[in-house]
Amino acid sequence: MKNFFFYTAFGRVVFAVSYTALLFASFFLITTPLFNSSDNAFCLYLLGGGFGNAPTELIYYNHLLHPFITIPVKELFLLNPDINWYSVVLILFHFLACSIILDRLLFRKSFQTGIIIYTLFFCVFESHLLLSLSFTSTSLILTISAIVVLLVSGVNKDMGLKNISMSVALLVCASLFRMYTVVPLVGIALPILLFILKKREIIFLGSALFAVLIIIAATNYMHREYYKYKIPNWEKGEQYRQLLYNFYNNENAYQGLDSTWLTEEMLLKDALIIDTNFLSTRKLLSMQNESHRTISQKVSDLQQDGVRWFVINNRIFVGCFVFLIFFCRLNRKYIIATMISSICLMGGIGLLYLFAKIPDYIFLSGLALLSLLIAAIRIEKPQRDLIYYPGLLGILFFMIWGAVRIYKENLKNLHNHLLFQQAATEVAKYPDNLFFVTDYTFPSDYISVFDTPRKYPLSNVVLSWHYSYSFSLQMLKRFGVNDIKELPYSHKILLWGKPVKELTDYFFKTAQIKLEYSLPLPLFKYGEVRKFIIDQ
- Minimal CA–CA distance to 117: which of 398, 336, 313, 345? 398
Predicted confidence pLDDT, tens digits, the chain (536 residues): 555 555 678 888 999 999 999 999 999 999 999 999 989 999 999 999 999 899 999 988 888 999 999 999 999 999 999 999 999 999 999 999 999 999 999 887 678 888 999 999 999 999 999 999 999 999 999 999 999 999 988 888 777 888 899 999 999 999 999 998 999 999 999 999 988 888 888 888 899 999 999 999 999 999 999 999 998 888 888 888 888 888 877 766 777 777 888 888 888 888 888 888 898 989 988 888 887 655 555 555 555 556 677 777 889 999 999 998 888 877 788 888 889 998 988 888 877 777 667 777 889 999 999 999 998 887 654 555 566 677 888 899 999 999 999 999 999 999 999 999 999 999 999 999 999 998 888 999 999 999 999 999 999 999 876 677 778 888 889 999 998 889 999 999 999 999 999 899 999 999 898 999 999 999 999 999 999 998 76
Decide if 101 contacts 118 (C-beta within 8 A). Answer: yes
State which amino acid sits at residue 368.
A
How confident is the model at residue 387, as a pLDDT?
Answer: 67
Q: What are phi and psi of 516, to 5 degrees?
A: -130, 160
CA distance 350 to 393: 34
Q: Computed over its alpha carbons, how large is the radius of gyration of the chain?
A: 25
Q: What are phi and psi of 412, to 5 degrees?
A: -65, -40
Task: Report the sign of the C-alpha dihedral through residues 138, 139, 144, 147, in that order.
Answer: positive
CA distance 502 to 272: 10
Residue 34: CB atoms within 10 Å: 28
Strands lying side by side in the sheet with 493-496: 461-462, 434-437, 493-496, 529-530
How confident is the model at residue 327, as a pLDDT?
Answer: 82
Taking CA 128 as the corner, what is the angle to CA 124 and CA 132, rounded to the nearest 5 degrees?
Answer: 175
Percentages (nearest 5) of helix, strand, coil residues in the chain: 70, 5, 30
3-class secondary-structure state, position 84: coil
- Minimal CA–CA distance to 461: which of 471, 451, 450, 446? 471
pTM: 0.93
State which amino acid sits at residue 54.
A
Residue 184: CB atoms within 10 Å: 22
CA distance 262 to 334: 53
CA distance 101 to 20: 10
State which amino acid sits at residue 79.
L
> Burial of 412 by CB count in 10 Å (0-12 exposed, 13-18 middle, 19+ buried)?
middle
Which residues face 496 on adjacent strands? Answer: 437, 529
Which residues face 252 on adjacent strands? Answer: none
Measured torsion, CA atoms of residues 460, 462, 468, 470, in degrees rounded to the nearest 10: 60
